[in-house]
Amino acid sequence: MIRPTIAIATLGGTLSMQCVEPGEGVTPSLGGNELLASVPEVARLAHIRLKTLSLLPSASVDFELLLEVLAWANEQINLGAEGVVITQGTDTLEESATFFEYVWAHDTPLVLTGAMRSASETGADGPANLLDACRVAISGSSKGRGVLVVMNGEIHASLSVRKTHTLALNAFTSATLGPMGLMIERTPRFLRPGNARMTLPLPSCTTHKIALLEASLSADTLILERLEQMGYQGVVIAGLGAGHVSEQWSCALQAIAINLPVIVGSRTGAGTTAFHTYGFAGGEIDLIRKGVYLSGFLCPRKARILLWLLIGCGQLSKLNDFLAHGQGC
């Protein structure tokens, strides 16, 4: 039997962390070779092409690094890889997955995974997650599903998955539809068909800034009023409830929306924004009339990624199309 080829890139994160100095906490220290040594079953599944691209906590991952990872992943596809796996820290894993989802132009699976327990902890989950991710990456049923996140025996769609617990092993959830699939007896089992995908070309500009702010009780508008002069080229608001802000914020966002794209999502963690229910000043009907976009099911963090990519590749005119497409996430 001919074994498939998997390309694996490691970026760091908890999966790679160990305690180097007693009492000083864990830090990224294990490269790809050390990680694979803890999961010998991977080498029996497939031929492995392995690359350590960084040793960072995921809080320090940025767009420039993700573009480097994407270039590496595209090269692996051109060299014949039948699946690509990327390991990184979990703090920004959902955002990285969203980034890749919008620019991954292949039917070949791209799978992200990480760990909630460091490599030096008893019961570390990293090896099992990495093995599951590799199994998903080479599964024929994963093809055409875009970018997937595999954690704790579950397979999640990139646009719906979120980290919803600080430390628990089941920290990753997809609130509305649940996971796309499960690992059952070492085999990926998908629970529903994949959605049609919309992708973007690579950004030609990467220096623009998109603000992400959260609406809250009695919040002032000082930062909002200064966003444009600070050089931001768009803003995403994690709004109250079904996508709402105060009357004062509504007025401030109307002024911003004259020159910059403004998206309002929900800070609640589950469900969609409303579109035609609430009529008060600061409600979604009022905001839409003032030129503000509502993100629907797409959470504010993911909406910021989308907006950054659309502006970067000069396709901001497609924002409504992508937000509407995200309603199926």
- Binding site for substrate, by residue number, is 58, 90-91
Q: Are 227 and 256 in contact (CB under 8 A)?
A: yes
Annotated binding-site residue numbers? 58, 90-91
Q: Are 7 and 85 in contact (CB under 8 A)?
A: yes
Residue 268 falls in the annotated catalytic set: no
The label of the residue with tokens 């991954």 reads 104
Residue from 314, 243, 237, 252 nearest 274 by CA: 243
Q: Are 245 and 288 in contact (CB under 8 A)?
A: no
Among 10, 14, 52, 273, the one annotated catalytic: 14
Q: Are 117 and 89 in contact (CB under 8 A)?
A: no
Catalytic residues: 14
